[in-house]
A and B are shown apart, each in its own frame.
Chain A
Amino acid sequence: GAGVSQTPSNKVTEKGKYVELRCDPISGHTALYWYRQSLGQGPEFLIYFQGTGAADDSGLPNDRFFAVRPEGSVSTLKIQRTERGDSAVYLCASSLTDQSEQYFGPGTRLTVT
């Protein structure tokens, strides 16, 4: 059975550029979460989808960050005008419902130069 997959595994971009990070959840999981993990820290919540809609986006740091999940499966995290402070590992997780355990993907390591 396939787990959560994320692409790309690594992304290097220049300051000011736009990036998209993709997450493919476990089939049938209705809840999808994005987290960001900086060096030496635990994952920090960004946004959570229940189906196609964002149930909670209170963790997005500012309006440069946006995420979509148009068909209730794959999700894309979009970052505009990237800054060096955006460098981190971006983690995606999915769960069967929003009351059950979350399964994490391998993450995308984003480096902004």
Chain B
Amino acid sequence: TQLLEQSPQFLSIQEGENLTVYCNSSSVFSSLQWYRQEPGEGPVLLVTVVTGGEVKKLKRLTFQFGDARKDSSLHITAAQPGDTGLYLCAGRATSGTYKYIFGTGTRLKVLA
């Protein structure tokens, strides 16, 4: 069974601080996605990384896929209250069935 562990589980920081969220597995994934979910809504895709070692930037968010495609990180620079939410990584299994396994989640709260 493929599992994705995220750390930290909870994070409360002040506006303007930097943070990094980690997504780790012992399994290899063909691609990895990051989603953000707000209360009462479904997750919304932020980015997809496909190649080992790939780095993608989305404004203040930087995403990296591990060289072995087993782990990923999300770094937020100068966090803002609007970044508050549940961050989820999701790995696509290599079996070719378009099956996505979600991580355990990181709940971020940015205080003004």
Are A and B interaction partners?
no
Interface residues of A (CB under 8 A from B): none
